Amino acid sequence: MDGERTELEETAPLRIGDVVPRFAARSTQGPIDLEMLADRWVILFAHPADFTPVCTSEFVALARAASEFEELGCTLMGISVDSLYSHLAWIRTIHEMTGVKVEFPIIEDPTMEIARAYGMLSADAQDASTVRSTFFIAPRGILRASICYPPNVGRSIPEMLRLLRALQEAERSDALVPANWEPGAELVRPPEEHAAGLFEAKGPGDWFFRPVKGK
């Protein structure tokens, strides 16, 4: 991946358009090297701790929707400060409780090095109890969106899928995605930035708001 953030280090929170920090770590699916996923979309999502109610509900829901993310060329990747063995014990328990297999990787980050590099925690944080951040990373390691939830509220998996599809559609169509967009709905053109286009627009608002079909 190209860009300035090539090593893990304490940084300010990532901004949209940044190249995310690379990392290599152990996971429930074996060693993970983010650079090896440079040609795919990646959703990296942190959770406060294994064996907790909200996190368990999220991982069950994400595992059930995993094929939908895969169809969109996206790798799901969980992360927390818990050890690899805690992750393994947790997903075994989830399977025994629900019959659901969590087969996407869950990364261990016991030193909180990755969490700090991604700006999920302040440099002086003593634990990861506030971390429930989600990063939508486009090919070449570009951050396209991020969402942070509090510990007591779980993510919406349908919204994660909708946002991923919206980001991909915006890149394909070179258009803007309006509120409440769903696949197949109209997009909007970028606004005119010069007077010629402004005066050529048919309707009074067509220069800044004009629906178009996606590609």
CATH of the domain at 65: 3.40.30.10
41 belongs to a structural domain: yes
Per-residue tokens: 16: 């949209």
175 belongs to a structural domain: no
Predicted confidence at residue 199, as pLDDT, reads: 75
pLDDT over 70, % of the chain: 88
Residue 84 lies in domain: 24-154
Let me know: does 25 contact 107? Beta carbons within 8 Å.
yes
17 belongs to a structural domain: no
Predicted confidence at residue 122, as pLDDT, reads: 63
212 belongs to a structural domain: no
2 belongs to a structural domain: no
56 burial level (CB within 10 Å; 0-12, 13-18, 19+): buried
Task: Determine whether 55 is an active site residue.
Answer: yes
Q: Which helix (H) or strand (E) holds 76?
A: strand 74-80
Predicted confidence at residue 3, as pLDDT, reads: 44
Let me know: does 81 contact 110? Beta carbons within 8 Å.
yes
112 belongs to a structural domain: yes
181 belongs to a structural domain: no
What's the CA gap between 37 and 171, in Å, rounded?
19
Identify the active-site residue in 25, 34, 54, 55. 55
Average confidence (pLDDT) over 204-214: 83
What's the domain count of the chain? 1
Per-residue tokens: 83: 């050890």
125 belongs to a structural domain: yes
Assess whether pLDDT exceeds 60 at residue 5: no
pLDDT (tens digit per residue) in 15-39? 999 999 999 999 999 999 999 999 9
